[in-house]
């Protein structure tokens, strides 16, 4: 068992890779009664072209299988449903699928070990039949239709779709109706057996229980089960060019206000820092210039060019970092014009830097005052870095004004995509 001391914080994450390859991370919060456990597989909606386990040829699977599996694992062959079982134990459970991961979790106050054991057991007990697969298709189709009815979801996906040329960010995680129809029991078992092997999975636990006892409990659970040893799944890396797929698009949907999103695509290899530090500096730079307390944001609101604060997002997508600026306002041409002008004339002010740095450090420390936010941090760190790192907090503390000024003062922000969403009644 390895200790990962979170530098700068009075926190230790205990880590062990079990004999079957499962990564287990445990953080103890002694005075907290609430617990949270995340069981994660490195398999999401973007992964659909690979060599299945025990086969030699690559196979293309329908989109939506990762999400379909998330649904089907809630159905057990015997006994009460997963939801009923957790309810009887006092646990609150759910699951979610994104482009790269599928995650199952349980949270609660009572019966920690019983809840943890059932979380692991039900995810590792697939039960697919032709009948229950067909039955699920109708439910998932309804979910896909509901997603299409959400204009803000459509807006978000369209922004991603227009940014990436080869990477399939922006496609439906659920899959198209045709994809859903084509999924078979055999597809599900092939994908499950390939990606739900413990060597491709991770368990993260935050509780008030002894770390060594928790890890030994998981070890004993896994020792009762047989898993084939697997090599790393063969998935071809998709080469993504620096240019965007589409620079500008207007869409119409059932919204009351016009919204514009300006998204900038930046390759990480253009920066000298690691990915996390690059993202921190970019967030500081854009909050400084476009955030709610920036002079630029306040000026646009006073002049009634925008109806609310500009929302700044900085997100990692494989080898790229995307900076998005979202604004509400009717004169989208004016909004785009002033944002482009500002991008060509960014200010880097030391007082603003120090204020934002203090706020970021304060927010980081605050993460560790609640179990759910601790888990959000640990899970995000694992997803972004492939492991839980020891020095994340120190990267915040060591942020330097001179580094920001020297490295980020002359970035080319011209590689961007703009999506405008207008109310349906404005469509000509």
CB-based burial label for 286 (10 Å; 0-12, 13-18, 19+): buried
Tens-place pLDDT, residues 295-354 = 999 999 999 999 999 999 999 999 999 999 999 999 999 999 999 999 999 999 999 999
How many residues belong to the chain?
A: 428
82, 161, 245, 294 from 266: Cα distances, Å: 42, 16, 14, 23
394 and 353 share a domain? yes
Does 235 fall in a domain? no
Asked whether residue 243 is domain-assigned, the answer is no
pLDDT by residue for the chain (428 residues), tens digit each?
899 999 999 899 999 999 999 999 999 999 899 999 999 999 999 999 999 998 888 999 999 999 999 999 998 888 788 999 999 999 999 999 999 999 999 999 999 999 999 999 999 999 999 999 999 999 999 988 887 788 999 999 999 999 999 999 999 999 999 999 999 999 999 999 999 999 999 999 999 999 999 999 999 999 999 998 888 888 888 999 999 999 999 999 999 999 999 999 999 999 999 999 999 999 999 999 999 989 999 999 999 999 999 999 999 999 999 999 999 999 999 999 999 999 999 999 999 999 999 999 999 999 899 999 999 999 999 999 999 999 999 999 999 999 999 988 778 899 999 999 999 988 87
Q: What pLDDT is recorded for position 61? A: 95
From 189, 223, 257, give the residue that closes a domain. Answer: 223
Residues labelled catalytic: 70
Q: Are 169 and 271 in the same domain? A: no
Q: What is the dihedral of CA 128, 62, 265, 390, to 10 degrees?
A: 30
Q: Is residue 233 part of a domain?
A: no
| Residue position matching structure tokens 């695509």 | 265
Do 179 and 281 share a domain, yes or no?
no
Same domain, 152 and 256: no
Number of domains in the chain: 2
Residues 76, 180, single domain; the answer is yes
Indicate whether 7 belongs to any domain: yes
Q: Is residue 231 part of a domain?
A: no
Question: Which one of 223, 238, 273 terminates a domain?
Answer: 223
Same domain assignment for residues 304 and 156: no
Is 236 part of any domain? no
Regarding whether 315 and 190 lie in a shared domain, the answer is no
Whether residue 230 is contained in a domain is answered as: no
Q: What is the pLDDT of residue 347?
A: 93
Task: Supply the pLDDT for residue 393.
Answer: 93
Of 173, 35, 159, 171, residue with least CA distance to 98: 173
Q: What is the pLDDT of residue 351?
A: 95
**Based on the domain organization, do 208 and 255 belong to the same domain?**
no
Residue 164 shares a structural domain with residue 284: no
CATH number of the domain within which 325 lies: 3.30.830.10
At 197 the three-state DSSP class reads coil
**CB-based contacts of 275: which residues, under 8 Å, 6+ apart?**
268, 316, 321, 384, 385
Quick check: helix, strand or coil at residue 10? coil
| Domain shared by 211 and 358, yes or no | no
Do 212 and 350 lie in a common domain?
no
Q: How far apart are CA 87 and CA 107, in angstroms?
A: 11
Domain around 413: 248-426
Name the strand (E) or helix (H) holding 65: helix 65-72
pLDDT of residue 78: 84
Domain assignment present for 240: no
Task: Say yes or no: 276 and 174 in one domain.
Answer: no
Q: Which of 65, 8, 45, 41 is nearest to 124 (CA)?
A: 41
């Amino acid at each position: 068992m390895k200790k990962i001391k979170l530098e700068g914080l009075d926190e230790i994450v205990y880590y062990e890779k079990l004999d079957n390859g499962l990564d287990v991370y445990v953080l103890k919060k002694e005075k907290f009664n609430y617990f949270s456990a995340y069981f994660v597989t490195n398999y999401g909606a973007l992964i659909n072209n690979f060599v299945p386990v025990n086969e030699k040829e690559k196979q293309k699977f329908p989109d939506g299988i990762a999400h379909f599996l998330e649904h089907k694992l809630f159905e057990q062959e015997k006994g009460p449903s997963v939801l009923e079982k957790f309810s009887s134990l006092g646990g609150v459970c759910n699951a979610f699928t994104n482009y790269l991961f599928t995650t199952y979790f349980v949270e609660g106050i009572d019966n920690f070990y019983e809840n943890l054991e059932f979380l692991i057991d039900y995810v590792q007990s697939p039960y697919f039949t032709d009948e229950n697969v067909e039955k699920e298709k109708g439910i998932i189709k309804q979910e896909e239709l509901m997603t299409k009815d959400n204009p803000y979801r459509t807006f978000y996906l369209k922004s991603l779709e227009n940014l990436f040329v080869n990477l399939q960010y922006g496609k439906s995680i659920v899959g198209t109706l045709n994809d859903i129809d084509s999924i078979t029991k055999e597809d599900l078992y092939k994908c499950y057996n390939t990606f739900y092997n413990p060597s491709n999975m991770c368990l993260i636990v935050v509780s008030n229980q002894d770390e060594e006892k928790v890890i030994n409990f998981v070890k004993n659970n896994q020792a009762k089960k047989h898993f084939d040893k697997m090599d790393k799944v063969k998935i071809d890396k998709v080469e993504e060019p620096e240019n965007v797929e589409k620079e500008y698009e207007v869409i119409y949907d059932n919204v009351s206000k016009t919204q514009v999103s300006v998204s900038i695509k930046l390759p990480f290899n253009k920066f000298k820092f690691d990915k996390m530090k690059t993202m921190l500096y970019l967030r500081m730079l854009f909050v400084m210039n476009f955030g709610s307390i920036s002079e630029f944001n306040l000026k646009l609101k006073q002049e009634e060019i925008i109806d609310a604060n500009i929302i700044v997002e900085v997100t990692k997508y494989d080898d790229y970092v995307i900076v998005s600026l979202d604004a509400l306002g009717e004169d989208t041409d004016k909004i785009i014009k002033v944002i482009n002008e500002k991008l060509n004339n960014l200010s880097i002010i030391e007082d603003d830097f120090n204020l934002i740095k203090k706020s970021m450090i304060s927010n980081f420390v605050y993460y560790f005052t609640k179990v759910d936010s601790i888990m959000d941090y640990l899970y995000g760190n694992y997803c972004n870095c492939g492991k839980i790192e020891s020095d994340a907090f120190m990267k915040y503390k060591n942020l330097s004004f001179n580094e920001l000024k020297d490295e980020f003062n002359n970035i080319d922000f011209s590689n961007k995509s703009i999506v405008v969403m207008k109310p349906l009644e404005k469509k000509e």
